[in-house]
Amino acid sequence: MNARRAPWLLTMLLVMVSLPILILYTWLFVDSVSVSAPGSIWPKAFTLKNWRFLFETIEGHASIWRVTFNTLVFALCTVTVVIGTSVTAGYALSRLKFPFRAQFLGGVLILHAFPSISLIVAIFLMLRLLGLYDTLAGVILVKASLEIPFGIWVMKGFYDSVPWEIEMAGIQDGASRFQVWRRLILPQVQPAIAALAIFSFIAAWSEFILPLVLAPSSETQLLSVYLAGLLTDDYLSDYGLLKAVGLFYILPVMVFYLFTQDKLMNIYSGATKG
């Protein structure tokens, strides 16, 4: 293939494939700030009325800022739990010898592949029993546990690629096992930690089923559930509003993604580059 023409062709192809998505997003944006006649797709006039939910609470629904705050807390806490657990458990599975290590690894892999929705009833009952039903802490725990197998697996892979000799050199230089992990090994899997953090943040931000079932009340509601609530509200058929809320919901993820996508790629390439 002609080397000069190749990137051109590739760009064309990518544009073609992503065009429908781009159009949808553009349309979403345009609709959220305009009025259009029913049945028509063309906007008639500019308006900010659809964004009124930012300043006033919509009747029968929670306050947007409360819900946004909840979502942020939910996502950040999930990230913290996932990272904390994966970074330590991944190391143990990669480097330490302990009983049932192989079984544990197999279990983690199975859990990763397990469809979480099939657990929802059991989780519901367990949270009720623990008194964590309809609390943010409860959903955070559940969401984090469902993300952790993937996190452990990714971290273990990255730890595996750090040479064993580096660790032994650290020990030989007088450092304790913990110091070696903290000062020599962690810096080398740092790209993986960043990628995993972004990944779990986005996963938590877009989670819907778990908070819907496990934390539905307006005190603990998350953005995704709030949006679904508006959608199913029979007294409210304001599609402009729905589109504005939808945009408000995906905007942070898109901006976040734009700035961090190169780090996110690390998780798939699986190598530490110095």
Partner 1 sequence: MEIRLEQVSKDFDSVRVIEDLELLVHDGEMIALLGPSGCGKTTTLFMICGIHTVTAGRVLFGDRDVTHVPPQERNVGVVFQSYALYPHLAVAENIAFPLRIRKEAKEDVEHKVRKIAATLHIDSLLTRRPGQLSGGQQQRVALARALVRDPAVLLLDEPLANLDTGLRLEMRSELRRIQQATGSTAILVTHDQAEAMSMCDRIALMNEGQIEQIATPSEIYVRPRNKFVASFIGSPPIAFCSGAVSENMFKGPGFKFELPERLQAAAIKPDSAVTLGIRPEALQPGLDIPVSGMIAFVEPQGRETLYGLQLPDGNMLRSVQAGGSRFKLGEHVRWGLDRESLLFFDPDGSGI
* 5-20 residues labelled b (16+ CB within 10 A) or e (exposed): eeeeeeeeeeeeeeee
Question: Under a CB-based contact definition with an 8 Å cutoff, are residues 235 and 154 in contact?
Answer: no
Question: Under a CB-based contact definition with an 8 Å cutoff, are residues 159 and 91 in contact?
Answer: yes
Residue 179 CB, shortest distance to partner 1, in Å, is 7
Residue 168 CB, shortest distance to partner 1, in Å, is 5
CB atoms inside a 10 Å sphere around CB 182: 12
Size of site (CB under 8 A) for partner 1: 17
Report which secondary-structure segment, H or E, holds 36. strand 34-36
- The contact pattern for partner 1, residues 43-82, with x = CB under 8 A and - = no contact, is ----------------------------------------
- The contact pattern for partner 1, residues 147-186, with x = CB under 8 A and - = no contact, is ----------------x-xx-xxxxxxxxx--x----x--
Site for partner 1 in 237-266 (CB under 8 A): none
Whose Cβ is closer to partner 1: residue 39's or residue 163's? 163
Residue 163 CB, shortest distance to partner 1, in Å, is 6
Q: Give every CB contact of residue 187 below 8 A, 6+ residues apart in sequence.
A: none
Question: Under a CB-based contact definition with an 8 Å cutoff, are residues 151 and 197 in contact?
Answer: no
- The contact pattern for partner 1, residues 187-206, with x = CB under 8 A and - = no contact, is xx------------------
Q: How far apart are CA 208 and CA 146, in angstroms?
A: 14
**Residue 253: which of 208, 220, 206 has the closest Cα?**
206
Q: Does 24 bind partner 1 (CB under 8 A)?
A: no
Give me the residues that bind partner 1 (CB under 8 A), please.
163, 165-166, 168-176, 179, 184, 187-188, 274
